[in-house]
């Protein structure tokens, strides 16, 4: 008996891209796709070196790929910084005053953050991290609502070579605890609370519960004030984000990092066993997020682009934060549920 899987559902409807869309697209025909795909498979070094040249490198790589199955090193010897590629790179020209993030909170408030402003926010927060003795190679848990400060925290970590592990704001204290222990995180970045269907999710209280038994390396908890709910502040461990900002300036050069320096760990729960900490590194990851935004979303300068995923998932990493910002795009972030206050919320955002 064959062990293959049978298929019975055959779909015959075909939808071709409109001429109008194709005319402006980066890849306009199947012939073009096939040609480039062939090249990317037969001469991957040539293809990826050409794409990688669109990013900013502090030092060029000596070798595109070193493959010792199953361990890969991409852009061996190359040095770059993800945050510099997502921010500083766009400050020289007209993108400086372009919206990097458009944010809508669940209660309805809107903020537009330009590349220049986001750069400033990230530099200041990176200085807060430094001030709190968090350094290159350290791991930090980010447990935040879907607000721009989540992206600020990620980019500030990336700026200093700190490895972030974002834990989805809907996860429990138990999940935070597992991830703190597995990653050996020295700090947690969180908020007092976030909004979900009109209620406040008590994020800080969950962090407290996760850390209460001790036996972990967390020395610092940085708390952003979002929802205004009352929270416990543990003397000597917890600090307020806004208070810390009073002590820092906005001058923070990005640290030159090896192409294979760890960028983030993201845990997947899986159906069995303990969560797996999926490790992504600097150069190859950024290039993947960048090229897919460029070719798959065909992201244009005039676009406002909205990925509805939370930053707690890989989709939020690659397609809310790193990919669109590396492209100099405008990324829309919405904090809450699609059915609050009614089932039309998503469409109203348009």
Partner 1 sequence: MYTAPTAIRAFIKWGDEWPKKYDLSSLRLLGTVGEPINPEAWMWYHKVIGGGRCPIVDTWWQTETGGHMITPLPGATPTKPGTATLPFFGVDAAVVDDNGKEVPANVGGKLVIRKPWPSMLRSIWGDKARYKKTYWSELKGMYFAGDGARRDKDGYFWIVGRIDDVLNVAGHRLGTAEVESALVSHASVAEAAVVGRPDELKGQGVVCFVTLKQGVEARQELREELKKHVRTVIGPVATPDEIRFTEVLPKTRSGKIMRRLLKEIAAGKAVSGDTTTLEDFSILAKLSASQE
- Residues 75-94 touching partner 1, rule: CB under 8 A, are 75
> What distance in Å separates the CA atoms of residue 345 and residue 350, rounded to the nearest whole number?
9
Residues from 265 through 324 that contact partner 1 (CB under 8 A): 265-266, 268-269, 271-272, 276-281, 283-285, 287-289, 291-292, 295-298, 300, 303, 305-310, 312-315, 318-319, 323
Rounded to the nearest whole angstrom, what is the least distance from the CB of residue 324 to partner 1 in the complex? Answer: 10
Rounded to the nearest whole angstrom, what is the least distance from the CB of residue 296 to partner 1 in the complex? Answer: 5
Residue with smaller CB distance to partner 1, 193 or 283: 283
Q: What are phi and psi of 345, to 5 degrees?
A: -55, -45
Residue with smaller CB distance to partner 1, 32 or 249: 32
CB 266 within 8 A of CB 168: no
Q: At what angle do helices 115-131 and 148-160 cross, to 10 degrees?
A: 60
Residue with smaller CB distance to partner 1, 253 or 344: 344
Note whether 251 binds partner 1 by CB under 8 A.
no
Note whether 217 binds partner 1 by CB under 8 A.
no
Rounded to the nearest whole angstrom, what is the least distance from the CB of residue 160 to partner 1 in the complex? Answer: 19
Q: What are phi and psi of 318, to 5 degrees?
A: -80, -35
Rounded to the nearest whole angstrom, what is the least distance from the CB of residue 345 to partner 1 in the complex? Answer: 9
Note whether 256 binds partner 1 by CB under 8 A.
no
Residue with smaller CB distance to partner 1, 240 or 340: 340
Residue with smaller CB distance to partner 1, 107 or 344: 344
**55 three-class SS:** coil
Rounded to the nearest whole angstrom, what is the least distance from the CB of residue 30 to partner 1 in the complex? Answer: 5
Residues from 151 through 210 that contact partner 1 (CB under 8 A): 168, 170-172, 174-175, 182-183
CB 223 within 8 A of CB 244: no
Which element (helix H / strand E) includes 48?
helix 44-52
**103 three-class SS:** strand
Residue with smaller CB distance to partner 1, 26 or 135: 26
Residue with smaller CB distance to partner 1, 114 or 183: 183
> What distance in Å separates the CA atoms of residue 337 and residue 187, rounded to the nearest whole number?
28
**Number of residues near partner 1 (by CB under 8 A):** 102
Residue with smaller CB distance to partner 1, 23 or 110: 23
Going by C-alpha positions, the residue among 169, 239, 182, 192 that lies closest to residue 216 is 182
Cα separations in angstroms, 80 against 43, 47, 160, 260:
24, 19, 11, 10
- Integer distance in angstroms from the first to the last C-alpha of the chain? 53
Rounded to the nearest whole angstrom, what is the least distance from the CB of residue 171 to partner 1 in the complex? Answer: 7
> What distance in Å separates the CA atoms of residue 29 and residue 33, rounded to the nearest whole number?
6
If you write DSSP's letter for every residue of 116-147 in order, what string do you get? HHHHHHHHHHHHHHHHTT--TT-EEEEE--SS
Measured in whole angstroms, the distance separating CA 39 from the mean position of its chain's CA atoms is 29
Residues from 125 through 144 that contact partner 1 (CB under 8 A): none
Q: Both tokens of residue 182?
A: 């597995």
Note whether 329 binds partner 1 by CB under 8 A.
no
Rounded to the nearest whole angstrom, what is the least distance from the CB of residue 332 to partner 1 in the complex? Answer: 9
Which element (helix H / strand E) includes 115?
helix 115-131
Residues from 27 through 46 that contact partner 1 (CB under 8 A): 27-30, 32-33, 36-37, 40-41, 44
Residue with smaller CB distance to partner 1, 34 or 59: 34
Rounded to the nearest whole angstrom, what is the least distance from the CB of residue 93 to partner 1 in the complex? Answer: 24
Rounded to the nearest whole angstrom, what is the least distance from the CB of residue 177 to partner 1 in the complex? Answer: 11
């Amino acid at each position: 008996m064959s062990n293959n899987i049978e298929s019975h559902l055959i779909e015959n409807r075909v939808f071709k891209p409109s001429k109008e869309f194709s005319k402006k697209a980066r890849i306009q025909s199947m012939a073009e796709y096939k040609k480039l795909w062939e090249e990317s498979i037969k001469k991957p070094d040539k293809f990826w070196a050409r794409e990688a040249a669109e990013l900013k490198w502090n030092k060029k790589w000596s070798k595109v790929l070193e493959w010792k199955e199953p361990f890969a090193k991409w852009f061996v010897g190359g040095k770059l910084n993800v945050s510099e590629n997502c921010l500083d790179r766009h400050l020289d020209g007209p993108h400086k005053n372009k919206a990097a993030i458009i944010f809508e909170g669940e209660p309805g408030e809107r903020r537009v953050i330009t590349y220049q402003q986001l750069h400033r926010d990230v530099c200041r927060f990176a200085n807060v991290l430094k001030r709190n003795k968090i350094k290159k190679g350290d791991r930090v848990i980010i447990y935040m609502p879907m607000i721009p400060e989540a992206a600020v925290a990620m980019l500030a970590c990336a700026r200093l070579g700190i490895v972030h592990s974002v834990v989805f704001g809907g996860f429990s204290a138990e999940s935070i605890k597992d991830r703190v222990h597995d990653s050996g995180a020295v700090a947690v970045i969180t908020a007092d609370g976030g909004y979900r269907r009109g209620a406040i999710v008590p994020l800080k209280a969950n962090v407290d519960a996760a850390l209460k038994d001790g036996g972990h390396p967390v020395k610092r908890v940085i708390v952003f004030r979002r929802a205004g709910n009352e929270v416990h502040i543990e003397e000597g461990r917890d600090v307020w984000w806004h208070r810390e900002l009073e002590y820092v300036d906005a001058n923070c050069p990005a640290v030159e990092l090896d192409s294979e320096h760890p960028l983030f760990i993201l845990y997947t729960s899986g159906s069995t066993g303990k969560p797996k900490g999926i490790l992504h590194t600097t150069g190859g990851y950024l290039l993947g997020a960048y090229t897919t935004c460029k070719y798959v979303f065909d992201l244009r300068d005039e676009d406002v682009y909205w990925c509805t995923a939370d930053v707690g998932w890989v989709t939020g990493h690659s397609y809310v934060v790193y990919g669109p910002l590396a492209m100099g795009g405008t990324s829309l972030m919405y904090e809450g549920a699609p059915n609050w206050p009614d089932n039309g919320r998503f469409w109203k955002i348009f």
